[in-house]
Amino acid sequence: MSEQEQFVHREDAFSVAVRAGKRTYFFDVKHSKNNDYFLTITESKRIFESEGKFNYEKHKIFLYREDFQKFFDGFKETLAFIEKNAPAESNTQSDSTSETKPDSKESFSDVDFDDLQVK
């Protein structure tokens, strides 16, 4: 494999950015060395420092194909718990919703794991 072909395989195969208040979530599908896919989920938040300067705080999760289904099942179970047990909406806004507060769950970006061909 040429150097140029190796570079092409390291680029993102698919990428989605989801803006949510002060945070942005990036879902990036990348090629692994064995030419399979893996997913990186990145949370990026702008942090203001002294003198008006800002920086970005980032957190990443690497998710490999063999773990997709277990991750997805745990995620669905967690969302179901929240939907069933969440307290009634209050008038206060948390940090994650301070810029935009959704009126309903339909206003959230729809992330479809089926696009990753989870088996």
Average pLDDT over residues 38-57: 89
- Tell whether the model's pLDDT for residue 37 goes beyond 60: yes
Tell which residue, 58, 33, 53, has the closest CA to residue 43.
Answer: 58
The domain total for the chain is: 1
CA distance 1 to 92: 56
41 compared with 50, residue with greater pLDDT? 41
Higher pLDDT, 54 or 108: 54
CATH number, domain with residue 44: 3.10.450.700
Residue 89's pLDDT band (boundaries 50, 70, 90)?
confident
Q: Which domain does 60 fall in, by range?
A: 3-86+94-116
C-alpha to C-alpha distance for 32 and 36, rounded to whole angstroms: 5
For the chain, the average pLDDT equals: 78
What integer pLDDT is reported at residue 88 of this predicted model? Answer: 80
Residue 106 has pLDDT above 70, yes or no: no
Task: Find the mean pLDDT for residues 77-93.
Answer: 82
pLDDT exceeds 80 at position 44: yes
